[in-house]
Amino acid sequence: MVLYFRLLRESFGFALNALRNNKLRTILSLLGVTIGIFSIIAVLAAVDSLDRKIKSDMSSLDKNTMYLKRFSFGPSEIPRWKREQFPNVTYEEFQYLKNSVNGMDKAAYQLFTARQIAKYDTKTVSDVNVIPATHELVEIQSMKFKQGRFFNESESNSGTAVIVLGYEIANSLFENTDPIGKKIRLYGQKFTVIGVLEKQGQGTFGNSNDTAVCLPVNFMRNKFGDHNDTMTPIIIFKPNEGVDVDEFKGEVIQKLRNKRGMKIGQEDNFFIDVLSGFTEMIDQIVGVMNGIGWAISFFSLLVGGFGVANIMFVSVKERTNLIGIQKSLGAKNRFILLQFLFEAIILCLIGGLIGLFFVWIIAFGLSKALDFEFVLSVGNMILGTGLAMFIGLVSGILPAISASKLDPVEAIRTGM
């Protein structure tokens, strides 16, 4: 064991000497390893960070949450012209399904509508995402509050002019003053502020609640009616825990078909998307992106491996005389082989660590500059280190074998 530690120390010394004595050659050879490790770990870190952000944004929602609407979130085999003829889901259908479907935990009715301008006193905020919904939305999305509360069932049913502000909206309109109880103007009418949401941060798809306001959906229905082209309704379902999702979805479909008087064999004129299906699609996209990253980085790693193999063959040739002396003094082939193999691994490890350092610097800088956290995980660091050592092992094995098989007499004579 002591022998191997000594061998490792000597090999490390040889590696450092190679760096010092042949700086340009060594740097050019290691550049491929550095670039290869940098590129693959940078891609994996970016994909992991994006995946983590998406899952964090969706963590407040149950994976079995369902969305019923006239359009599909994903690709559909139904022609576009036919989908455009589908009717919107209605508030009456929402109430019917909410009260008739078995295994229902919560159901909410929400409208997608155009962004608006909110005003308070002399301050104005534009591009406000308005979320008209029923009171159940707060529980389905597990909203957290900095101040105040969400509107209750009574306020929701009557369409009371109350409003909940996202963090950025409240900060822009009221700065350091308490917004609770104050009135802001929206749709030409005053709304009483009853709550402020906690800061969420930038959403993965730009849909952060920080720049949104929530108000009772019945206010919008009372003001604009149920047949307004600028508003698209959806119904959100959250099944009870333990309920069979397929059975629950099938019951929703059958109840809505009956409500709409659809005949057997007639194609559904609505869509139901389950959140778990969306997360599976995201996982597939992440997998493809990882695969692309590996494919791109493979060529850099290949070039780096050839570069290290080249410098190791040169190193063997330069130290032929030393190898001959070591073997004449009793050094075994295994000792010579491990000596050069360790040297190749250490050289690649240095290149890999440099690549990881650059990834960390860039991730740190981007996290500071953008409202997005780039994370270089311990797993990716271990992967990068392991890849660097593997490249060193593969690229150094042939030069190490050639060194170990040298005849000591010929080696001394050749090196003189």
Q: Does the pLDDT of residue 29 top 80, yes or no?
A: no
Q: Which amino acid is at 164?
A: V
206 plus 230 within the same structural domain: yes
Q: What is the pLDDT of residue 18?
A: 60
**Is there a single domain that holds both residue 364 and residue 294?**
yes
Q: Is residue 82 in a domain?
A: no
Q: Are residues 122 and 215 in the same domain?
A: yes
Lowest mean pLDDT segment, chosen from 121-125, 360-364, 370-374: 370-374
Domain ends where: 247, 269, 291? 269
Element (H, E) at 192: strand 189-197
Question: What pLDDT score does 70 carry?
Answer: 87
What's the confidence (pLDDT) of residue 4?
64
Instruction: Look up residue 70 and give its DSSP letter.
Output: S
Neighbours of 308 (CB within 10 A): 28
Q: Which of 335, 394, 402, 337 is nearest to 33 (CA)?
A: 394
Is residue 312 domain-resident?
yes
Residue 95: which pLDDT band, with cuts at 50, 70 and 90? Answer: very high
Burial code (b: 16+ CB inside 10 Å, e: under 16) for 361-380 equals ebbeeeeeeeeeebebeeeb
Q: Which residue has the higher pLDDT, 415 or 306?
A: 306
For residue 335, pLDDT beyond 90: no
Domain-located, residue 372: yes
Classify residue 321: in a domain, yes or no.
yes
Mean of pLDDT values over 386-413 = 72
Q: Is the pLDDT of residue 399 over 70?
A: yes
Tell me which range, 81-85, 124-128, 313-317, is most confidently predicted by mean pLDDT.
124-128
Q: How confident is the model at residue 319 (pLDDT cuts 50, 70, 90)?
A: low
Pick from 255-259, 276-280, 336-340, 348-352: least confident: 276-280
Residue 109 has pLDDT above 90, yes or no: yes
Q: Residue 67 in contact with residue 236, Cβ under 8 Å?
A: yes
**Average pLDDT for residues 64-88, to the nearest whole number?**
81
Residue 394 pLDDT: 79
- Among 269, 299, 334, identify where a domain stops: 269
Instruction: With a cut of 70, say whether residue 413 has pLDDT above it.
Output: no
- Residue 148 shares a structural domain with residue 10: no
Q: Calculate what percentage of the chain has a pLDDT beyond 70.
A: 78
Q: Using one digit for the tens of pLDDT, what is the confidence trace for 234-262?
A: 999 988 888 888 899 899 999 999 998 88
Q: What pLDDT score does 108 carry?
A: 94
| Residue 181 within any structural domain of the chain | yes
Select, from the ranges 13-17, 134-138, 335-339, the one with the highest average predicted confidence (pLDDT).
134-138
pLDDT score of 318 more than 90: no
Residue 202 has what pLDDT? 63
Q: What would the 3-class secondary structure string for 166-191 be?
A: CHHHHHHHHCCCCCCCCEEEECCEEE
Same domain, 123 and 242: yes
Predicted confidence (pLDDT) at residue 320 exceeds the cutoff of 80: no
Domain of 92 in residue numbering reads as 87-269
Residue 90 has pLDDT above 80, yes or no: yes
Same-domain pairing of 177 and 139: yes
| Residue 190 or residue 141, greater confidence | 190
Helical segments of 142-244, H only: 153-158, 167-174, 217-224
The C-alpha atoms of residue 207 and residue 54 are separated, in whole angstroms, by: 12
Residue 75 class from Cβ within 10 Å (0-12 exposed, 13-18 middle, 19+ buried)?
exposed
Paired tokens of 199: 């800061």
Instruction: Please tell me what DSSP assigns to residue 209.
Output: G
Average pLDDT of the residues in 360-366? 83
Residue 371 pLDDT greater than 70, yes or no: no
Q: Give dist(CA 193, CA 90) in Å, integer.
A: 28
How many C-beta atoms surround the C-beta of residue 205 within 10 A? 8
Residue 63 lies in a domain: no
Residue 107 and residue 218 in one domain: yes
More confident residue, 62 or 346: 346
Domain-embedded: residue 62: no
Q: How confident is the model at residue 330 (pLDDT cuts 50, 70, 90)?
A: low
The answer to whether 356 and 384 have CB atoms below 8 angstroms apart is: yes
Longest pairwise C-alpha distance within the chain: 101
DSSP 89-145: P-HHHHHHHHHHSTTEEEEEEEEE---EEEEETTEEEEEEEEEEE-TTHHHHTT--E
pLDDT-based confidence at 186, cuts 50/70/90?
very high
Nearest CA among 93, 95, 98, 108 for reference residue 138 = 108
Residue ending a domain, among 269, 297, 313, is: 269
pLDDT at position 14 is 64
Which DSSP state fits 89? P
Total structural domains in the chain? 2
pTM of the predicted model as reported, rounded to 2 decimal places:
0.65
Shared domain for 116 and 190, answered yes or no, is yes
Does residue 344 form part of some domain? yes
Using 50, 70 and 90 to split pLDDT, how confident is the model at 74?
low
* 116: pLDDT strictly greater than 80: yes
- State yes or no: pLDDT of 12 exceeds 70: no
Of the two residues 135 and 77, the one the predictor is more confident about is 135
Per-residue confidence (pLDDT) for residue 410, from 0 to 100 = 63
Compare 139 and 26 and report the one with higher pLDDT: 139
Using only C-alpha atoms, what is the Rg of the chain? 32
91 and 179 fall within a common domain: yes
Worst-scoring range by mean pLDDT, 78-82, 129-133, 261-265, 399-403?
Answer: 399-403
| Same domain, yes or no: 319 and 177 | no
